[in-house]
Structures are given as C-alpha cells and as structure tokens.
A = this chain, B = another copy of it.
Amino acid sequence: MLGTAFMGRVHARAWREANHVTRLPLEVVCELIVSRSTNHGSEAARQLGFRRFSEDWKAAVADPGIDLVDICLPGDLHAEVAIAALEHGKHVLCEKPLANSLDEAAAMERAATTAAARGAFAMVGFNYRRVPALALARRLIREGRVGAIRQIRATYLQDWLVDAAVPVTWRLQAKRAGTGALGDLGSHLIDLVCWLSGQSVARVSSSAKTYVRQRPGARSLGHRGGPLPIEAVDVDDAVVAILVLQSGTLVTVEASRVAPGHKNDLSLEVTGDNGALRFNLERLNELEMLEFDPARAGTGFTRLLVTEPSDPYVHGWWPPGHVLGWEHAFNHEIADLVAALAENRQPEPSFSSGLGTQAVLAALDTSSQEMRWVAPDPRASLLDPVASLPNHPTQQQ
C-alpha cells in the first residue's frame, strides 16, 4: 500500500479486517507499506498493521512478495505507479479519480488491458458503489422499479473551503489534483450517474468557479512558523452542469467545496417514468423510494432502512437497524476485489470505466472554459457491463 494519509488509513483498516469480516476465498496479508520517511514509515506500519515498510515505491511495486498494490496517493502519481505495478504483474487498486488527465487515464487503461491478459487486474476506488443503499438503488433500477429514467439530480456538497483562511493543500493545486471540486467530488457523481443508469454521457454544459482565489500557502516540511505565504488557487471551488445521457435523460450536477451546511453530502434523486429514488450520503443507511401509482396519488417517498440481510453487502454485519458507517463501503470494496481475483475475473469499477468517467470530466472542464456544449471523447461510453448485482456474503455467520 502506498499512502498513509486519510485514504491510506481507511484502506488499511479495511485490509486489516478483510479476513475477519468476510469469509474470503483468499487470505489477506498486509505486507508492506510505502512511506517517504523511515521514521514515519516504521510507525505507520505498526499503527496501520503492516508487516514491513519501505521508502522506495519502485522497489515495492517490483517486490516478488507483493501480489497487489493499493495506491492511496495524490492524483499526479496515479499513472506512473499504477502502470509500473501492472507491468510487474501486480494487481492494482487505485484511488479515484483514475488520473488527472484524459491522456494519463488512457495510458493506465491500456496498461490494465495488457495486464489483464496476463492475469493481473486493476480496479479504481469509486467506493460509493459499495454503499448498501446505492447498491440497492441500482438493483431496484435494474429490476425496473422506477421505470425508464428521465431525470437525475446529483449534488456533492462540502464546506471545508468556505473559510478563506484554510490553507492550500495538494487538493487545491492543479499540478497535483488536476481540478478541484470537479475531479474530487464530481468524479463520484459522474461514476454514479452512469453506473446507476447504465447509460453514458452524450453531451455536457458546465460552468465552474473559483471563489477564493488566494489562500495561505501549503505548509512545507521546512516551514519555520510565521505567516504562510499567500498562494494562488488554480482549481475550481464549485462547478454546476447539465448533462444529457445517451437515451436523453436530463441530469443536473452540482459539486462544491464551499457549501456551508453540508459536510459530505452526496445526494442523488433518480426519477423514472414509474417511480423515483433518493439518497443522501450523510444518512447513508437510508434510501427513499417512490413507486408511482395513479390510483394512490398522494403517496410520497417511503424510507427504506437498508440494513436487512437481504440488502446488498449487509448480510453478515449486524441485525437490522444497527447502522453502518461511511467506512464500511471499503470493507465491501475489498471483499469484492478479493473475490474477483480469486476467480480470475475483472473487478469493478475497471480502469476502462474509470477512463470513461475521466472523459466526462475532461468534457466538463472544456465546456466550462469554452462556454459551450461538449460531447465527451468516445471513450466516455466505456462502462462496466451491467451485470447482476453482487450479493456477496461479507461476514461470518
């Protein structure tokens, strides 16, 4: 595993628990963690539960004792590390979005395709596909419970950049993160819109905005106190868009890191010709459902508490009503990944699917800059096959 910050800590917890939460077909061993400094790496290995640490990622991805490389690094490092790992025949799990540019993503997808032919598989970490309520939403959509999809409203709102005194991090630097709210938050929305609807994006119109154009500079390791230098922000704080999907579905998208009152609020409403579904990540155990019946016209949404054994991924956790948290999607992600690897098949979301999302992100970026509708690169139609949903047992019984 590479990366010991937020995502590294979350992934590590899921890997540590993999053998215990899930009756997996393969045993997971947390072998090696890569960190930039020896001191930190030693402590990280102990704390995060890995056997060894290394400062040398290139050696790590070539290490014959390693079967799978998990990349929890800023976006500018994804392509180089993932391609190297795949070339060494390692399986790869890479955090989202796949890359910072369409070119990088395309190179990664090519490497993944080549590696897959040799039995090494790559997966991109769009973790929200494994939130039980969203997996249930997809199942209900595929069963036709809401009918043909007509409209989707997808918003992802956070507030951590409202305060203009918040300093620059790598997530606010185009050279590290590519874009701002668009790539960080919008990528989740695009992935979910396509995955839930089974449709690709035909055209987009977008407008992005950077409200706070200067912030205190990023803290460097050598910073000796005193006021931080002012640094320009070159990524977007917020972006809005309308999308038309291949079948004509209308979609509104809004992603913002300057939305007071919202902490980690990814909300979706999917409206079909026969029903609708609503979801809110801050209440992620719930799904609201509406099945339209002209004879019962006053009937509104029904709250489903997605904690039943029959709900996706829930089987084997706790009894109904004992709610799961945000992190549990990572347990499910890893369980699905290991199960796919044990069966020598491609896990989802594939790098192809990640490339598809990247193509839409690129189109949104272009649309906003050029103030026109943009049809994404044809690779935007690369979606994971719309197969039956996994209902993998995730816990001892």
Determine which of B151, B261, B300, B327 lies in contact with A290 in the assembled complex, contact meaning CB atoms within 8 Å: B261
Question: What is the oligomeric copy number?
Answer: 4
The contact string, 1 if C-beta is below 8 Å from chain B, for chain A 249-279, is 0111010101111111100000111111010
Chain A residues packing against B (C-beta within 8 Å): 6, 9-10, 12-13, 16-17, 19-21, 23, 47-49, 150-151, 153, 155, 158-160, 162-163, 165, 203, 205-207, 209, 211, 238-242, 244, 248, 250-252, 254, 256, 258-265, 271-276, 278, 281-285, 290, 292, 294, 297-308, 310-311, 318-328, 371-373, 395-396
- Determine whether the beta carbon of B273 is less than 8 Å from that of A250: no
Contacts of A298 in B (CB 8 A): 263, 304-308, 310-311, 320
Complex Cα–Cα for A312 and B284 (A): 21
Complex Cα–Cα for A298 and B321 (A): 9
- Determine whether the beta carbon of B301 is less than 8 Å from that of A261: yes
Complex Cα–Cα for A274 and B260 (A): 7
Contacts of A159 in B (CB 8 A): 292, 297
A-B contact pairs, 11 of them (CB 8 A): A16-B16, A151-B238, A151-B256, A151-B259, A162-B274, A242-B252, A264-B323, A281-B321, A297-B310, A322-B326, A325-B325
Contacts of A324 in B (CB 8 A): 325-327
**A251 with B240, Cβ < 8 A, contacts A301-B303, A305-B298, A323-B326 known:** yes
Contacts of A21 in B (CB 8 A): 13
- Nearest CB in chain B: distance from A382 CB, A: 24
- Determine whether the beta carbon of B241 is less than 8 Å from that of A396: no
- Nearest CB in chain B: distance from A263 CB, A: 3
- Nearest CB in chain B: distance from A38 CB, A: 17
CB nearest to A285 among chain B residues: B282
- Nearest CB in chain B: distance from A104 CB, A: 26
- Nearest CB in chain B: distance from A25 CB, A: 14
Complex Cα–Cα for A290 and B319 (A): 20
- Determine whether the beta carbon of B242 is less than 8 Å from that of A241: yes
**A254 with B207, Cβ < 8 A, contacts A305-B298, A318-B10 known:** no
Complex Cα–Cα for A242 and B383 (A): 27
- Determine whether the beta carbon of A276 is less than 8 Å from that of B260: yes
**A373 with B290, Cβ < 8 A, contacts A153-B254, A298-B308 known:** no
Complex Cα–Cα for A265 and B286 (A): 14
Determine which of B260, B290, B308 lies in contact with A275 in the assembled complex, contact meaning CB atoms within 8 Å: B260
Determine which of B151, B258, B322 lies in contact with A150 in the assembled complex, contact meaning CB atoms within 8 Å: B258
A-B pairs, top 6 by smallest CB distance, nearest first, are: A263-B321, A264-B321, A325-B325, A300-B303, A261-B290, A260-B292
Complex Cα–Cα for A281 and B323 (A): 9
- Nearest CB in chain B: distance from A288 CB, A: 8
Contacts of A239 in B (CB 8 A): 250
Contacts of A158 in B (CB 8 A): 321
- Nearest CB in chain B: distance from A161 CB, A: 11
Complex Cα–Cα for A265 and B319 (A): 13
- Determine whether the beta carbon of A150 is less than 8 Å from that of B211: yes
Contacts of A321 in B (CB 8 A): 158, 262-265, 281-282
Complex Cα–Cα for A144 and B125 (A): 41
Contacts of A206 in B (CB 8 A): 242
Complex Cα–Cα for A298 and B310 (A): 9
Complex Cα–Cα for A260 and B6 (A): 39
- Nearest CB in chain B: distance from A174 CB, A: 20
- Determine whether the beta carbon of B48 is less than 8 Å from that of A20: yes
Contacts of A10 in B (CB 8 A): 318
Q: Besides A282-B321, A322-B327, 7 other CB < 8 A contacts? A: A151-B256, A238-B250, A239-B250, A242-B242, A260-B276, A300-B304, A318-B326
